[in-house]
Amino acid sequence: MDPDISQQILTEVQRLRRSMRRSSIAAFVLLAIFVGVSICVMTWQGDPYAQASRAMRAGNYSRALQIVHRISAEHPENYYPHEYLGMIYLESGDTAKSEEEYSRAHALYPSETITKALQLTPKLLAIAYPRLVNREIGIWLAISCRRV
């Protein structure tokens, strides 16, 4: 066999090898991205807090309450569902239940944020409620709690 032909064959085989290696790496990266996105989407759709948040944004407070009450029943020692319920009740305009849930959250975890929410709940509805749309109250409360 001619040395020039052998060299050409060797060069072509090396080029094919590099091309296969690049294709394999690209396929692996695409597979990893697909799996990662699939896991994120499944997790996001299955997250009850995300479902409650979507229900609240849609103005479906009864659905949001149903979801978070279920979480609260499953994890009675956790303060966060009660804090979240307080926010939902506040946004829906039910001050008494909002204070009740914030009080439960405070009893389980007496944080500064929950204390401020308890102090602001009646004032917020008395002063700011006429000027705010229901779904903006929770955002306003969260901002106010950080400033106070």
Q: Note the pLDDT tens digit of each residue in 20-75.
A: 999 999 999 998 888 888 777 665 567 888 889 889 989 999 999 999 999 999 99
Using pLDDT thresholds of 50, 70 and 90, give the confidence band for residue 130: very low
List the one residue out of 76, 78, 120, 71 whose CA is nearest residue 98: 120
- DSSP letters along 81-130, please? HHHHHHHHHHHHT-HHHHHHHHHHHHHH---HHHHHHHHHHHHIIIIIGG
Q: What is the pTM of this model?
A: 0.57
